[in-house]
């Protein structure tokens, strides 16, 4: 009974991130999503059913051992068949299993129900990194082991918790998502089978080349949630961690806008090229290539590249 207190004290002392497991932890964490909470609830329900069965069985054993012991003159029963008893010990476990399976099935179905999601993120596994695409937003990037861990693992030095608290658990570009938003994930791989797993989100999904798997999440609390590839995928399987940074909706909108601005050279290029184009390279007429159009005719910076005349270039 004291162990959780010890764990709590250790967790508080070590400044552990929310949803991170702590030393001597005895139970699952409830996680930070609806799905994780469902898994936790199913687990706790099954646990208490097991506790009740355990108490009944061990109590019956104790009564049998103490009350009907040989020294009190008990004689072994001689019956070998009892239809009533057999029906009871078959029907009762079946009822218990149905009572547990019914809510568990409902939860499983809901776990795969990606309808009404507000945004979609495509996750692609590579040897040995992840690629994230915010579908419809034009934002994508890869996420790989942070350089510090990568350098340290190749020096042969032994990392310590004090000097390298996030050894092999940090990435260069974390996946940034908004809280309180139903996010659909479509998960695949480009080379071999990987699996995308962040325990605090409550699920693990295989990333298989040629197949799109689905999952969804709705993170309740802002924070940093860590995971890793969960399918043996080659020699660097242990070196492709996952970091999910859940932020407020407002912060996410700001971040996404910044990413769009950073990732949008296609839209900005024509105007920039036009400004730099020498006058003689811009003949009058409709045959002017889009990238050498006169400055006064240049498309606004935010216009898409395909806004140039169809016959240009």
Question: How far does Cα 205 stand from its chain's mean position?
Answer: 8
E strands along the chain, which residues?
119-126, 129-134, 139-143, 175-178, 183-189, 194-198, 203-207, 213-217, 223-229, 241-247
Q: How far is the CB of 193 from Cu ion (least distance, A)?
A: 8
- Which residue, 179 or 242, is less far from Cu ion as judged by CB? 242
- Residue 207 touching Cu ion (CB under 5 A): no
Question: How far does Cα 282 stand from its chain's mean position?
Answer: 52
Q: How far is the CB of 125 from Cu ion (least distance, A)?
A: 5
**Selected range binding Cu ion among 147-155, 191-199, 244-252, 287-295, rule: CB under 5 A:** 191-199
Q: How far is the CB of 194 from Cu ion (least distance, A)?
A: 3
Q: How far is the CB of 142 from Cu ion (least distance, A)?
A: 13
- Which residue, 189 or 247, is less far from Cu ion as judged by CB? 189
Q: How far is the CB of 189 from Cu ion (least distance, A)?
A: 8
**Selected range binding Cu ion among 193-201, 262-270, 279-287, 304-312, rule: CB under 5 A:** 193-201
- Which residue, 81 or 235, is less far from Cu ion as judged by CB? 235
Contact set for Cu ion, span 223-242 (CB under 5 A): 229, 233
- Residue 194 touching Cu ion (CB under 5 A): yes
Contact set for Cu ion, span 123-162 (CB under 5 A): none
- Which residue, 41 or 236, is less far from Cu ion as judged by CB? 236
- Calculate the alpha carbon distances from 181 to 175, 205, 247, 308 in Å: 15, 19, 11, 37
Task: For Cα atoms 150, 155, 160, give the angle at the middle one, nearest 5 degrees.
Answer: 75
* Residues whose CB falls within 8 Å of the CB of residue 260, separated by 6 or more in sequence, listed in order: 137, 138, 139
Q: How far is the CB of 124 from Cu ion (least distance, A)?
A: 11
Rounded CA separation 197/203 (Å) = 7
Q: How far is the CB of 228 from Cu ion (least distance, A)?
A: 8
**Selected range binding Cu ion among 47-55, 73-81, 148-156, 189-197, rule: CB under 5 A:** 189-197
For residues 209 and 199, the answer to whether their CB atoms sit within 8 Å is no
- Which residue, 130 or 252, is less far from Cu ion as judged by CB? 130
For residues 306 and 286, the answer to whether their CB atoms sit within 8 Å is no
- Which residue, 206 or 251, is less far from Cu ion as judged by CB? 206
- Which residue, 175 or 233, is less far from Cu ion as judged by CB? 233
Q: How far is the CB of 123 from Cu ion (least distance, A)?
A: 11
- Residue 288 touching Cu ion (CB under 5 A): no
Q: How many residues bind Cu ion (CB under 5 A)?
A: 3
User: Residue 92: which region, alpha, beta or left (left: phi > 0; alpha: psi -120 to 50)?
Assistant: alpha
Instruction: For residue 46, count other CB atoms closer than 10 A to its CB.
Output: 12
Task: For Cα atoms 299, 301, 303, give the angle at the middle one, nearest 5 degrees.
Answer: 65
Rounded CA separation 22/7 (Å) = 6
Could you list the residues that contact Cu ion (CB under 5 A)? 194, 229, 233
């Amino acid at each position: 009974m004291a162990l959780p207190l010890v764990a709590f004290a250790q967790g508080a002392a070590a400044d552990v991130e929310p949803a991170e497991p702590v030393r001597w932890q005895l139970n699952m964490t409830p996680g930070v999503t609806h799905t994780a909470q469902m898994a936790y609830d199913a687990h706790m329900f099954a646990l208490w059913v097991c506790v009740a069965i355990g108490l009944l069985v061990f109590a019956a054993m104790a009564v049998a051992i103490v009350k009907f012991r040989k020294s009190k003159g008990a004689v072994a029963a001689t019956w070998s068949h009892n239809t009533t008893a057999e029906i009871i010990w078959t029907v009762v476990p079946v009822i218990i299993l149905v009572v547990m399976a019914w809510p568990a099935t409902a939860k499983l179905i809901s776990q795969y129900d990606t309808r009404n999601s507000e945004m979609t993120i495509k996750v692609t596994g590579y040897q040995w990194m992840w690629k994230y695409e915010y579908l419809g937003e034009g934002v994508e990037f890869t996420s790989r082991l942070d350089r510090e861990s990568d350098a340290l693992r190749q020096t042969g030095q032994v990392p310590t918790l004090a000097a390298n608290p996030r050894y092999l658990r940090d990435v260069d570009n974390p996946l940034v998502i908004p809280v309180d938003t139903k996010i659909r994930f479509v998960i695949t791989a480009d080379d071999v089978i990987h699996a995308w797993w962040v325990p605090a989100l409550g699920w693990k999904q295989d990333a298989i080349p040629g197949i799109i798997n689905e999952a969804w999440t709705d993170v309740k609390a802002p924070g940093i949630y860590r995971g890793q590839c969960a399918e043996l995928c080659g020699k660097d399987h242990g070196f492709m961690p996952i970091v999910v940074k859940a932020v407020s909706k407002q912060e996410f909108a700001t971040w996404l806008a910044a990413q769009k601005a950073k990732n949008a050279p296609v839209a900005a290029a024509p105007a920039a090229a036009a400004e730099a184009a020498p006058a003689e390279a811009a003949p009058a007429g409709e045959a002017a290539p889009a990238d050498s159009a006169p400055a006064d005719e240049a498309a606004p910076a935010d216009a898409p590249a395909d806004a140039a005349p169809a016959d240009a270039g």
